[in-house]
Amino acid sequence: MPLSVMSWNVENLFPPGSFTSPSANDPVSQQEFDDKIEFLSGTISNIQPDVIALQEIGGSNENDTTGIQGLQDALQGNYPFRAVGTADNRRIKVAFLSRLELANEQGFTDFPQGPFDVVPNHEGRRPFTEMGRGALKVEVQVGPGIRVRLVVVHLKSKLLTFPTREAGIASPRVTRTFGLKQRVSHSCDEPWKR
């Protein structure tokens, strides 16, 4: 059975009444939320992936799933399975919606042991030991005895203050990418969990 996976940074999918950042002047309006949900659900319905990996699912607090629930409801039962990661300090999470049952859900932020478990910080602060935002790993069964592991991550993109590679220091984004690669590679050595 073929598997189609879509990854989408939905850019601040926050529910009505919540603020997208500490510096936001106005909360998200019901109209803004409804328009975004209509656009997202229409696009997803046209593409019809089996699994959707989403970045920037927000909430009014770290446990609020109103935004992802609104999208799931708009998809009219076509994506009954959901996994939601841990919120960062802005209340933003990663998530999966799926037609297929999701198994062995695991959220993580820490680097696994290895060459990138501690990475120097260019600003002289304590070294990096974890990703800036949580990642989420799930498994889907696509056929008899065939499971696929999927990971969704939301790397920080606005790193204008970090030194360049020419300065001899890798940016936190590059570092976290290597840490994620190591985490996923380590995960592939583990036996399948039932």
Strand ranges across the sheet with 93-98 = 5-13, 51-57, 93-98, 81-84
pLDDT-derived band at 179, boundaries 50, 70, 90: low
Its domain, for residue 94, covers 5-188
Total domains, the chain = 1
pLDDT digits (tens, 9 = 90+) for 41-99: 999 999 999 999 999 999 999 899 999 999 999 999 999 999 999 988 889 999 999 99
Query: What is the pLDDT confidence band of residue 173, given thresholds at 50, 70 and 90?
Result: low
The answer to whether residue 98 sits within a structural domain is yes
Mean pLDDT for the chain? Answer: 82
| pLDDT for residue 102 | 98
Residue 37 lies in a domain: yes
- Please, which contacts does 184-192 make with residues 24 or more away whose CB atoms are closer than 8 Å? 184/137, 184/149, 184/151, 186/112, 186/114, 187/137, 187/149, 188/149, 192/139, 192/147
Answer whether residue 143 is part of any domain: yes
pTM: 0.79
Q: Mark 86-111 as b/e (b = at least 16 C-beta within 10 Å).
A: ebbebbbbbbbbbbbebbbebebbeb
Q: Does some domain include residue 179?
A: yes
Does 193 fall in a domain? no
Instruction: Let me know if residue 178 belongs to a domain.
Output: yes
What tens digit of pLDDT does each residue of 155-171 get?
776 554 444 444 444 55
Taking only the tens place, the pLDDT of each residue in 20-55 is: 988 889 999 999 999 999 999 999 999 999 999 999
pLDDT at 187 over 50: yes
